[in-house]
Structure 1
């Protein structure tokens, strides 16, 4: 009910915090508040403080807050009524919406989610046939279905990493796995070392847990290992979150020597390593793949997160953590605070698909190679001033712009019917305005249409003076 929830100026100012340090300041405040609404820290239909009260709490002029509230109204985050105040809402559509949500009315180059793999329906039918063997039980298994844990462990063995089923804890996707690990491995106030750029939902989860995020840079050409190893020494993090396989969003691939060096430095710093392998199976170019990072682990500090969302289909909400058997028990106990088990039907379906992994990988590789090459070619033809490398795997490419205008481009793109993911979304501190992430999960003809729209949006953006150097995504 509108008006039942309220937030005072001092609390809202504290939640905004340093996030609104960008200029113009009103826009930083506005985007910080929209971010609080999007991640649920300020619920919808919460009455915001009067402009005068928030201005006093922030130590700014009332005009600044008036302009911030006007931006929120224009972008669908605030509703107001004369004499009744203003309260938070969610926009129906358009550029004010969630940055990684699908935009079905656009050519969506922002979402890295491929269509279901061939054979999914057959695997689901086999799962239904197997259901009779399970309906006599309770249906809950906090550690995961034994057959699936065996299949996941066997796949690690095939990749060169000895693994027992007792080392696998099945989760509801990779994000669920990361959230569980953050809750068990760190306390509020601890430091998390992450790449910059990195996967935004993992960074958001760390912040919600109260962790201090420190960054080490990565580019499409790889990691500056001197910088990464020095970050462990300087920051002494409690844990680190890394994506060494076709890193999201840069597409970089960490080699065996670099993985060994990172694990060794984490050991010296007494830091835990959360290694996200969500796209590790999506190699495109031929050649030997590095062994999993955990192959260099000698004392159980590497926690490997996996998922089938990118390999099989996002509708199968199955992920896992590979760790030590005692940690599996801790994870199984911790997950029961929020859920009891992953879907039995999904687990049975995924078990059947694991048996066909070699075919699935080959099919995905062919699809992604075709799409990647088409996207790179049309980008170089239509927007030659952009810099884009050709990643050797994964689902996305990281394109460099000749001017810091990623946020403005995203807004122009929405007007031209194309959705993209701007660089600041992937930064630990709202930087990276020189970059956009583009997914190549769509067919070549759709990608070509998307780039045509993108080229028009870029022409419009480049013609506008004073594109913001740093826009804010919270």
Structure 2
């Protein structure tokens, strides 16, 4: 089995690369968080054998990285990932003028302030209680359950747990039901922090491909039956980052196959409400199997600062989750739950705001990409972003170049296992049009540099990607 370093590099992408280019690629992996600080790298000899390069080349690679502070080496010992202790430069994208495209999220809904004011009497009425809310406020659980019922899945408030966001929900599920060393089926690409959560809980990841035109359904079901993973994490509506939607017949087929393989489906519906002009609303995955565990949140439809999410599952699973939750938290903030009750009472206003903003953001990205020869933007009927095709495996290089122009732009491999999808780039459609226009101007400058062979040396940091 090859090393994780070469797996992340992608041997096919570095064939024939100079020592300086190899060092730059490894540096990008470190700064983007795909290699972690303290991680042990293969020896010079082992790396040379894996890459089929000379020992002098790999010695030079590690020497360049050590000089810049990105690895530490012990004579006769190991080489480990490090970060240089330097102050950020003005060109690194950390100044206030930088545009951060690692965050695909809108500002708050216009109704947030009024909902907060309306929620205060509800909060005041609870002052005589302990203030802890392990399962969540009954009113909020009822509102979430009603939302599922209206979408075609009969749901009771007892089948809902309120969490501190969707990622918190995923971590609670894995803490209660995870099995270290087991396999987890994940889409390729997918939400990076879900991959990190699965890694942290000891899962071995098995990818299945997704693109803007959808899933490879045969690969998905064949992998379920062949690998029999313990869990599968998927985003069936406006998939992050591709924007694809899983058709209803395939939802039924996957749910049936997952039951046959003994796989628990963890379905992330964080992006479900982000419709622009899809034209249809498939039934939730939970409609096709009682064993599906669904997570969702308020962060994309109301505001990222609303740390309120939920889990929908059968009562037996809810009991297990409630038994585990006190080990790391005692509930979700009451004020935010009270606000969420008010917001969910007027879903049409929320979804109208989302649709208007996303339509404008999509148009601004499409306009900004005009004239960038080689880049293709796929149809984007909803979701957070456009999953653009760069026409060549240059995503990491483009991200590095963008840094020198004050543009934080996570490369395609940030959303994958194994450092693949260098042809792809996620561009959020969530910023105001004028901000998007400026971001596209900066992208154009970086694109010209990379295409003409003179990219600037930038700082590709390990940003949170949402």
The total of aligned residue pairs comes to: 440
Query: Which residue of structure 1 lines up, in the alignment, with residue 166 of structure 2?
Result: 174
What is the deviation of 1:26? 5.0
Q: Is contact 1:199-1:248 (8 Å) kept?
A: yes
Q: Distance in 1 between matches of 2:209 and 2:182?
A: 20
Q: Distance in 2 between matches of 1:386 and 1:318?
A: 37
Correspondence list, 1:8-23, <5 A: 22=11, 23=14
Distance verdict in 2 for CA 1:15–1:423, change over 3 Å = closer
Q: Is contact 1:37-1:90 (8 Å) kept?
A: no
Q: Is contact 1:406-1:435 (8 Å) kept?
A: yes
Query: Which residue of structure 1 lines up, in the alignment, with residue 347 of structure 2?
Result: 357
Of residues 166, 175, 185 in structure 1, which corresponds to 2:177?
185
The answer as to 2:322 corresponding to 1:332 is yes
What is the deviation of 1:96? 12
Q: Is contact 1:31-1:473 (8 Å) kept?
A: no
Query: Which residue of structure 1 lines up, in the alignment, with residue 226 of structure 2?
Result: 234
Q: Is contact 2:10-2:420 (8 Å) kept?
A: no
Q: Distance in 2 between matches of 1:69 and 1:145?
A: 57
What is the deviation of 1:231? 1.2
Q: Distance in 2 between matches of 1:38 and 1:310?
A: 29
Distance verdict in 2 for CA 1:370–1:37, change over 3 Å = closer
Q: Distance in 2 between matches of 1:155 and 1:181?
A: 21
Structure 2 gap segments, 5+ residues each: 50-54, 74-78
Q: Is contact 2:9-2:419 (8 Å) kept?
A: no
The answer as to 2:215 corresponding to 1:223 is yes
Deviations 1:33-53 (A, max 9, x none): 6577986x74xxxxx99x9x9
Q: Is contact 2:298-2:308 (8 Å) kept?
A: yes
Q: Distance in 1 between matches of 2:445 and 2:226?
A: 45
Q: Distance in 2 between matches of 1:246 and 1:156?
A: 17
Query: Which residue of structure 2 lines up, in the alignment, with residue 198 of structure 1?
Result: 190
Of residues 111, 121, 124 in structure 2, which corresponds to 1:132?
124
Query: Which residue of structure 2 lines up, in the alignment, with residue 310 of structure 1?
Result: 300
The answer as to 2:254 corresponding to 1:262 is yes
Query: Which residue of structure 1 lines up, in the alignment, with residue 312 of structure 2?
Result: 322
Q: CA RMSD in A?
A: 3.5
Q: Distance in 1 between matches of 2:367 and 2:33?
A: 39
Q: Is contact 2:391-2:423 (8 Å) kept?
A: yes
Q: Is contact 2:207-2:417 (8 Å) kept?
A: yes
The answer as to 2:382 corresponding to 1:390 is no
The answer as to 2:142 corresponding to 1:153 is no
Q: Is contact 2:48-2:58 (8 Å) kept?
A: no
Q: Distance in 2 between matches of 1:31 and 1:457?
A: 16
TM-score (norm 2): 0.84
Q: Distance in 2 between matches of 1:34 and 1:384?
A: 28
Q: Is contact 2:446-2:455 (8 Å) kept?
A: no
Deviations 1:387-430 (A, max 9, x none): 11121111101000121100000010111222222110011111
| Greater Cα offset, 55-64 or 420-429 | 55-64
Of residues 67, 71, 89 in structure 1, which corresponds to 2:65?
71
SS in structure 1 at match of 2:136: coil
Q: Is contact 1:139-1:344 (8 Å) kept?
A: yes
Deviations 1:235-258 (A, max 9, x none): 111110110000011000111111
Q: Is contact 1:103-1:419 (8 Å) kept?
A: no
Q: Is contact 1:405-1:434 (8 Å) kept?
A: yes
What is the deviation of 1:200? 0.8
What is the deviation of 1:135? 1.3
Of residues 422, 426, 434 in structure 2, which corresponds to 1:437?
426
Q: Is contact 2:237-2:244 (8 Å) kept?
A: yes
Q: Which has the higher contact order (CA 8 A, sep 6+)?
A: 2
Q: Is contact 2:31-2:461 (8 Å) kept?
A: no
Distance verdict in 2 for CA 1:168–1:418, change over 3 Å = same
Q: Distance in 2 between matches of 1:37 and 1:96?
A: 22
Q: Distance in 2 between matches of 1:272 and 1:209?
A: 15
